[in-house]
Structure 1
Amino acid sequence: MKLVLQVRLLPTPEQAAALEATLRACNEAASWASEVAFGRSEFKNFALRRHVYGEIRSRWGLGAQAAQHAIKKTCDAYATLRANLKAGNLGRPGSKRYRRATEKPVAFRPQGAQPYDDRMLSWQFDQRRISIWTTAGRVKGVAFTGSPEQLARLALYRKGESDLLERDGMWFLNATCEVPEAEPNTDPCDFLGVDLGIVNIATTSDGEIMAGRDLNRVRVRERGLRKKLQKKNTPSAKRRLKKRRRKEARRAKDINHKIAKHVVAEAERTGRGIALEDLTGIRERVRLRKPQRATHSSWSFAQLGQFIAYKARRVGVPVVYVDPAYTSRTCAECGHIDKVNRVSQSWFACRSCGFVDHADRNGSRNIRARAWELWRRGAPSTAPAPPPEHTRRGGAGRKRNITASDVSCASPVPLALGS
């Protein structure tokens, strides 16, 4: 399976200047190629290459491989755009968001990531140095660093392209690794149901609750601070906003990684599979009151689901996605479905048999039962390929009245166009 490892580069000021000029030239060339592709409606790699390859090489001074990658990046961006439009991720046709995405060419940020293949980039793992192509020539001896486990995996399994990117003055290489998978468990003894939520990030059918209280408090505090700084709008406020950006997202990502690691380890230890809810498209299916929108939009359920899925695939634990409709209203003991069974956010009380339990634990037990029934019918594991390093957060909304199919054949991963 493919994993993406991010290593940090430690360039000197001269090396950093060469890397910055290279990224800027490559992204300017890709943006110009995007305008040509949009004007000519040529979105295939070889067709677009006939119109832009020579100009890119002469005008921006890119080498042959860099020019090819800039063109391919443009075509890939339009392919991603078409996929997102088809999936409804950019709203309905004719909506403001849909028109904004389709009425102008795709543009690339000056610091957007640039792919490098083995002709443009070489690694010296023993010295922790790389040699990399730039518009100023080959730059040798650029230092890189990472954790010992990360560097060992990189030396053993690195294969394919790497992406160069700059973020907040720091330089990174996202290297692709072909990591061997464990033998998949085709005969799990049971399933570990996982109910995803906002108040409780994840609740397992074993009764273990990963509360989101601390994370939600951080989000409320960060949201209030951003509002105050944006209102103040002074140079110092802007500097502080820039310094704090992505802090909340990094914290949420770290928590999701820890939860996913714990859930997968428990399923592997007990010889069980993992049952997840298929919440695809939930944001488009719900209407929320204004005070709820920010909280629900910050709910990173898709990221947590992707982390669980790829960690499970790496160790051979099967994953099944089930229809989450009415899991919060169904009694896990007798199967009675009623809206009033859900007494509050945290408590469930069945009006038929009198069963009382924590609402999220009851929901996770229903998810486990549905996954086990589907597995007995022959439903395969649907663990998707691991997500890229920079994955967009998932949508938000309530889990009620969802009309998804019982099992999703794949878990779609939305991609950003400007990468």
Structure 2
Amino acid sequence: METQIITAKLKLLIDAEQAGVLMETACAYRDALNQTAEVAFVHNKLSQAMKLQTLVYGELRERFGLPAQMACNVPRQVAASYKMLWSRTKTNAEHRAKGWTKKRYRGLDRPPRYSALTVFYNYRRDFSLGKDRTVSLGTLQGRLRCGYVGYQKHLDLLEDERVRVQGAKLWRDPTSKVWYLLVSLGVAVQPVAPETIRAVAGVDLGQRYLAVESNGRRARFWSGSAVLHRAEHFRRVRAGLQRKGTRSATRTLRRLALRETRFRADVNHQVSKHLAQPGTLIGMEWLHDIDERTERRHRPEASSKQRRANRRRAGWSFADLQGKTHYKAHLQGLPVIYVDADYTSQGCPVCGHTGKENRPGKGLRFECASCGFELHADLVGARNVALRTLLIRQDWIRTGCLSATPKGSDAEAKAGRLQRYLELRWSSEPNPLLDH
């Protein structure tokens, strides 16, 4: 039995006095985070939580008045931030050594700054759920009990005894000024045996088309034109507000950023809901470090077309779409398979010929230079991803072991996988097993 973590968003029903207590607690917690980050920076950018807690625990209790559990959560959160920064720094060093990028990551040049009004809680230590949909929260002035409302699906999960409540985060919406409690829930999931999976779908992600799915019987396209159009609109409005530079313009910029984030998240939720179908094994491209591994033009003399392409790539939310698809599929007991993204849109699924000449003008038309096969380039990519996913499923059935991602493999192992992919062929004949 496996566990999938989902987040229940609960709106707190509080009055003005209770809101003031939460604001006081959140401000003290934020100041404690910034102070702890500076201490960790002075001590050689310390990322060990227990060592950092030893250094700052007394100060957090006396200077900021934090309860004991909060004073332990602060150094853990800061240590996790420094671990992430160290990881990015090491990854950047590897990419610079490989020649993928010339930029040096500067995340550790100064201490991280925390500005959001958030507080992390531990279940049954400084927060607990009561009867009649109430919650008890730890504050600087003791416990605060209030009611809450939320999505009915989340409320049902909170009342399910099989769902395990974990930590929570107190968060204040900067636009509506409403306080929310984001509760992490562990939902038990029964994994599906590979022999019972009767459908395999490959998904090609992009910008002109957010996702193209092919499963052998049908192909589905999700256009990204609306997302690109909205992104350009936000960019024009943001540029005007930045030139204005007033305080009201700065507030509007914050609201605009949240609005754009919500819009992208809503689109990705809709697409991922259609992708994560019951009984279907989903395959996607492994796009980790795609910005570092692909060519980008940052020259000062770059054309407006090149700058627009760089800007669109920077705003491409493929990781968010993959994450949402992953957890929706996992709730059904199905894994998401990630395959190497190399040559998925350049390899012919009929004859196997691979080359840039198969994409004339780097457009959306695929035309094989060897056999003359023609199709939509993104659909060709989806078919190749489906073939690679099917190969991994066969290995899973044969060996009983599943490698869901190519992460961590060396160049020799990757070359071996790519050689196996060259032997895959897409047949136009329908599979009779899919009709039963």
Calculate the TM-score normalised by the size of structure 2: 0.81
1:382 to 399, 404, 419: 404
Summarize the Cα distance change of 1:43–1:196 in structure 2 as closer, same or farther, 3 Å threshold: closer
Q: Is 2:212 aligned against 1:203?
A: yes
Summarize the Cα distance change of 1:110–1:91 in structure 2 as closer, same or farther, 3 Å threshold: farther
1:137 to 132, 135, 142: 142
Match of 2:229 in 1: 217
2:359 to 342, 351, 368: 342
SS at match of 2:331: helix
1:319 to 336, 340, 351: 336
Distance (whole Å) between structure 2 residues aligned to residue 163 and residue 197 of structure 1: 33
Alpha-carbon contact 1:185-1:318 (below 8 Å) kept = no
Deviations 1:344-364 (A, max 9, x none): 532212222222111111111
Match of 1:252 in 2: 264
Distance (whole Å) between structure 2 residues aligned to residue 364 and residue 89 of structure 1: 33
AA at the equivalent of 2:15: T
Q: Is 2:52 aligned against 1:52?
A: no
Match of 1:176 in 2: 184
Match of 2:433 in 1: none
2:126 to 103, 120, 124: 120
Question: What does residue range 285-296 of structure 1 map to in structure 2 within 5 Å?
Answer: 285-286=293-294, 287-288=296-297, 289-296=306-313
Distance (whole Å) between structure 2 residues aligned to residue 297 and residue 406 of structure 1: 29
Summarize the Cα distance change of 1:203–1:95 in structure 2 as closer, same or farther, 3 Å threshold: closer
Alpha-carbon contact 1:328-1:363 (below 8 Å) kept = yes
C-alpha root-mean-square deviation of aligned residues, in Å? 2.6
> In the TM superposition, what is the alpha-carbon distance from 1:121 to its structure 2 partner?
1.1
Aligned length: 382
Match of 1:102 in 2: 108
> In the TM superposition, what is the alpha-carbon distance from 1:9 to its structure 2 partner?
1.7
Q: Which runs of 4+ in 1 moved over 6 A?
A: 93-96
Deviations 1:279-337 (A, max 9, x none): 11110122133221111111111111111111111102232111111111111111111
Q: Is 2:403 aligned against 1:365?
A: no
AA at the equivalent of 1:334: C
SS at match of 1:336: coil
Question: What does residue range 1-12 of structure 1 map to in structure 2 within 5 Å?
Answer: 1=3, 2-12=5-15
Question: What does residue range 78-97 of structure 1 map to in structure 2 within 5 Å?
Answer: 78-88=82-92, 92=96
> In the TM superposition, what is the alpha-carbon distance from 1:91 to its structure 2 partner?
7.5
Summarize the Cα distance change of 1:381–1:179 in structure 2 as closer, same or farther, 3 Å threshold: farther
Question: Which stretches in structure 2 are left out of the alignment for 5+ residues?
Answer: 298-305, 407-413, 419-436
Alpha-carbon contact 2:367-2:374 (below 8 Å) kept = yes
Distance (whole Å) between structure 2 residues aligned to residue 285 and residue 383 of structure 1: 17
Alpha-carbon contact 2:86-2:108 (below 8 Å) kept = no
Alpha-carbon contact 2:29-2:119 (below 8 Å) kept = no
> In the TM superposition, what is the alpha-carbon distance from 1:143 to its structure 2 partner?
2.5
Summarize the Cα distance change of 1:222–1:5 in structure 2 as closer, same or farther, 3 Å threshold: same
SS at match of 2:219: coil
Distance (whole Å) between structure 1 residues aligned to residue 198 and residue 140 of structure 2: 57
2:33 to 14, 17, 30: 30
Distance (whole Å) between structure 1 residues aligned to residue 382 and residue 53 of structure 2: 52
Alpha-carbon contact 1:210-1:259 (below 8 Å) kept = yes
SS at match of 2:190: coil
Calculate the TM-score normalised by the size of structure 1: 0.84
Query: What is the identity percentage for the equivalent residue pairs of Structure 1 and Structure 2?
Result: 32
Distance (whole Å) between structure 2 residues aligned to residue 380 and residue 234 of structure 1: 55
AA at the equivalent of 2:68: A
Deviations 1:118-173 (A, max 9, x none): 221122252x2222111122222x22111111111123224221111222122111
Q: Is 2:372 aligned against 1:354?
A: yes
Match of 1:277 in 2: 285
SS at match of 2:203: strand
> In the TM superposition, what is the alpha-carbon distance from 1:46 to its structure 2 partner?
2.6
Distance (whole Å) between structure 1 residues aligned to residue 265 and residue 69 of structure 2: 34
Q: Is 2:249 aligned against 1:241?
A: no
Distance (whole Å) between structure 2 residues aligned to residue 374 and residue 36 of structure 1: 47
Distance (whole Å) between structure 1 residues aligned to residue 308 and residue 227 of structure 2: 18
Match of 1:43 in 2: 47
Distance (whole Å) between structure 1 residues aligned to residue 416 and residue 154 of structure 2: 39
Distance (whole Å) between structure 2 residues aligned to residue 406 and residue 223 of structure 1: 41
Structure (1 or 2) with the larger CA radius of gyration: 2
Alpha-carbon contact 2:204-2:382 (below 8 Å) kept = yes
Q: Is 2:80 aligned against 1:76?
A: yes
Distance (whole Å) between structure 2 residues aligned to residue 258 and residue 405 of structure 1: 36
SS at match of 2:366: strand
Q: Is 2:198 aligned against 1:189?
A: yes
Question: Which stretches in structure 1 are left out of the alignment for 5+ residues?
Answer: 385-402, 408-419
Alpha-carbon contact 1:341-1:351 (below 8 Å) kept = yes
Larger displacement relative to structure 2 (296-305 or 27-36)? 27-36
